[in-house]
Structure 1
């Protein structure tokens, strides 16, 4: 009996200490509520916060999804390439925008390839990876619907009259040894593959040609490409064969939407779910340093009242803004009324564009980083 009492007292003490630390760490939270209305359905707040004794600068956009719409746009409206968030926003006449998902950052011709799921206008441009969290967007006539779910890839195809499961390993990315990859017109003019494989070219639902490598991608079709041992299936295919896509994003459950999402971009990791902190970086196979070190962060969140938050946290600027780790970011979002939230690409990519200019301070010495995609905010057109 005495042991049970001690355990209860210890638990209560631990909860109290955690609560006091939380209040100390995020002192001055009331400033987070000082939003200014800039456009119908668009409110903005800049917050100077203290994380312990260290400063952190936060930018918040609070959006009424009955008055604005959200769209994901890739750099240059293609599957590859990088472009500043501000340029993507300006090209699409955006009121506001933030950088989107993770992507391949190098100097190769594959730079800008989404490092995870990317769907734009109902077209799957890049496949989900590692079951990571994704932001799903559906713009209805009267309001925009949002969901956050972990997605995986189902790489099926129909050949002749049989569905072949888990054949395709990726969409619109560099083909690796032993892989079957699909290339669509969004990838560019050619597949950029070497001579180690075999490719079949499809128009409509029929194979129209068979090629060795670097095939031209038809504007009204796609290319199925395989290398090394994976090419054995393609060697059985013939010109004229029926071949059609059956690949898709597969979620843990049905998204709470009236229909399929139009746009999807990737993130790492989930932060909040159903009003509770639920950080999934380990499940999503992210590194411990990514999760636990303080970095610049970009995130999105749903609020209790149905509004939508876009958030940037500046970092890597000692004495000015130190950034946050994922736990701190989740705690902060929970403290200002978020129920569901996820982390997007951050670090030097973290950017918020508003009314023609970048309103945060990107951490790269060169200034605003070029990114693969952005989440763009525009005013909703009135339906007559």
Structure 2
């Protein structure tokens, strides 16, 4: 099994390098030698001087995915230890089934164990989803917790088809700008292609993680650091990867960023823990005082009992109501009013909302006509301050994929999986999914890429490791994973270019990255 997995990883890099590595240098490429003929499926479009888009399908003729039935591990985990796997296989045989036990190894993460991750137990190989569902019902009737799965999503074996789009923006030749944007309001959701069409963008991709449910906050607000036109509009969820587009994208870099905001009234200070989010709710966690964890934790909403949150003019929705105190500030940061939470952010002004001890601080220190100063600081992991000007923007997600030219996936550190709890983040990180990625090559060219997924036999997607190898094969020396799944979208000349995975069509998202003429 170890040799097979090693071969899969080497083959992945070879196929991607052969098929798309030349996309960065923008010369003609052909499908990989081992792939089935796919005449005419590879396209290159010169969208503008310095901007080109390459699209095609990575194929592996030797890959033979099928439908199967997988037994859920202990506690609904996807895997178990060897003793559990052997015991489960024995019970299945006693029930008249023919199980197989598969070893699953840890991917090439920088911050997790190596070797065996766990073992899974499966039954059968089926040509259709319907056949697998029928088999699943029989196994379930025998007392097992099982799911029907497509083996093409397994990272341990080659994928048969992966539909990819790659845009390369060369700042040495491109005279336009590249910027992250949340369009009109940070408290709204909009499709990537819709924003692109309105802004007449050359290329656009979806951006960072955002709130998708009212239970977790205001839909559309970002769940990680974000800045548009030089203004910080969301705070970091711990130290996580971000794409910094400075000088209209002419100087871009990727770094893990943290953020702090301090409110000062006279000699008294209080830490602001959020911008443009519901007080008490921290999507993806990662803030001091958050429970159950102050560390980043993907798709988990943490709580803050004593929470001070700033709202900016871009929050164009009704302010969250509820217990606590609200202070309205004018453009100079002077207190206009103090009272209960609610209403809207005044044009040119801002609002502070506090609950718990933060509410008490506002009540004690907010005085009509007096100033509450807000100091915002963004730093990278080297401690360097990231200063924002009007033509700078930031979009963030997780995790880092490539660092200093090497694959360096810090999935555990950035909270997309937990090595001690395989029920958390396994499918998100280790199973093939639609992905959106951003990277920079050694010449400073920006690479924006998508892979379609969740389409058995059409396009499986990438695991995080495959995403990293893909970006490295394109020449990226720095790369990060952006929001993916149903959010993954690329628009070219204002039209959706890829096939999104949601049954309802392209998903309305939070922020996006727009390449503007």
TM-score where L is the length of structure 1: 0.87
Post-superposition shift, 1:324? 0.7
* Structure 1: distance between partners of 2:317 and 2:443: 46
Q: Where do 1:358-369 residues align within 5 Å?
A: 358-369=496-507
Structure 1 residues 310 and 253: alpha-carbon distance in aligned structure 2, compared to 1, 3 A threshold: same
Task: Tell whether 2:299 aligns with 1:192.
Answer: no
The alignment status of 1:220 with 2:348, answered yes or no, reads yes
**Cα separation, 2, equivalents of 1:81 and 1:328:** 32
Are 2:241 and 1:136 aligned? no
Contact conserved, 1:158 with 1:243, CA < 8 A, in 2? yes
Q: CA deviation at 1:163?
A: 6.2
3-state SS of paired residue (1:78): coil
Q: Contact 1:146–1:257 at 8 Å: present in 2 too?
A: no
Aligned match of 2:480: 342
After TM superposition, the structure 1 = structure 2 runs for residues 39-188 of structure 1, keeping only pairs within 5 Å, are 39-50=48-59, 52-66=158-172, 67=174, 68-75=176-183, 77-107=184-214, 110-139=218-247, 144-160=250-266, 162=267, 164=269, 167-176=271-280, 177-188=305-316
SS in 2 for 1:236: helix
> For 1:250 and 1:258, how far apart are their aligned partners in 2?
9
Query: Match of 1:10?
Result: none
Question: Which string of whole-angstrom CA distances, capped at 9 and with x for unpartnered residues, describes residues 288-336 of structure 1?
Answer: 3221111100001111232111100111111011111111111122122
Deviation at 1:363, TM superposition (A): 0.7
- Shift of the alpha carbon at 1:30? 2.4
Structure 1 position 321 matched with structure 2 position 463:
no
Counterpart-to-counterpart distance in 1, 2:320 and 2:5: 54
Highest CA radius of gyration, 1 or 2? 2
1:266 to 396, 407, 410: 396
Structure 1 position 31, deviation (Å): 2.4
Post-superposition shift, 1:272? 0.4
Q: How many equivalent pairs are there?
A: 359
Once the two structures are TM-superposed, the CA of residue 180 in structure 1 deviates from its matched residue by 0.9
Q: Give the equivalent residue in structure 1 for 2:513.
A: 375
Bigger relative contact order, structure 1 or 2 (CA pairs below 8 A, ≥6 apart) = 1
Corresponding position of 2:415: 285
1:17 to partner: Cα distance: 8.4
Whole-Å separation in 2 of the counterparts to 1:210 and 1:257:
33
Aligned-partner Cα distance in 2 for 1:146–1:255 = 15
Question: Deviation digits for residues 131-165 of structure 1, max 9, x if unmatched?
Answer: 1111111126xx711111111221212212x3625
User: Which deviates more, 180-189 or 249-258?
Assistant: 249-258
5+ long unaligned stretches in structure 2: 23-28, 30-43, 61-157, 281-304, 418-424
Partner of 1:234: 362
Please state how far the C-alpha of 1:241 moved relative to its aligned partner.
2.4
* Closer/same/farther in 2, CA of residues 110 and 257 from structure 1, 3 Å limit: closer
Q: Label 1:147 to 1:306 Cα distance change in 2 as closer, same or farther (>3 A).
A: closer
Distance across 1 between alignment mates of 2:218 and 2:388: 32
Structure 1 position 222, deviation (Å): 1.2
For the 8 Å contact 2:230–2:388, the answer to whether it is kept is no
How far off is 1:201 after superposition?
Answer: 1.6
CA contact (8 A) 2:257 2:380 kept: yes
Correspondence for 1:37 = 46
Q: Quick check: 1:301–1:310 contact (8 Å CA) kept in 2?
A: yes
